[in-house]
Amino acid sequence: MRIYLVRHGDAVLEEDDPARPLSAIGRAEADAAAILLQGERAEIDEIWHSTRLRAKETAQIIAERLGVNNVLEKKGLSPYDPVFPIADQIKKSRKNILIASHMPFLGKLASLIKTGDAHKEKVEIKTGGVVSINLAI
């Protein structure tokens, strides 16, 4: 079982658009992440994304390029949400999941999955960045 954590691409400033969609750079970052995953022959069963537009657009770009049809908006993936409920959902799913979300949520989730402690390791993911974690369950 493999989990892919993807930080959304660069977004426009809130004063330019309160919904904060991806900027042109952000779209390119999301596409680059998709190309990287495609090159790695990533097998993704589901893509989860937060309720925020920039994460949704990132997920859609990746899903389109990789041909993933199961794209789900999930609550609990916002920047400061607790990571334990999502970690439990991941373990129960037994699927290869890509999560398009935000920092610091993704960093804490990566640390929790890798070490059992959401605060043990400081994991930084740049916009459009991808972290792949193999889970032995």
Task: Give the mean model confidence (pLDDT) for residues 23-43.
Answer: 97
Listed by start position, the domains of the chain span: 2-12+19-134
CB 86 within 8 A of CB 118: no
Q: How far apart are CA 79 and CA 72, in angstroms?
A: 17
What is the value of pTM for the model shown?
0.96
Which is it for the CA torsion 2, 33, 45, 118, positive or negative?
Answer: positive
CB 36 within 8 A of CB 23: no
Residue 15 in 3-state DSSP? coil
Rounded mean pLDDT of the chain?
A: 96
Q: Indicate the fold that domain 2-12+19-134 takes in CATH.
A: Rossmann fold (3.40.50)
Tens of pLDDT, residues 65-101: 999 999 999 999 999 999 999 999 999 999 999 999 9
Q: How far apart are CA 113 and CA 87, in angstroms?
A: 7
CB 7 within 8 A of CB 128: yes
Structure tokens at 98: 């890509």
Tens of pLDDT, residues 110-135: 999 999 999 999 899 999 999 999 98
Tens of pLDDT, residues 39-71: 999 999 999 999 999 999 999 999 999 999 999
pLDDT over threshold 80, residue 137: no
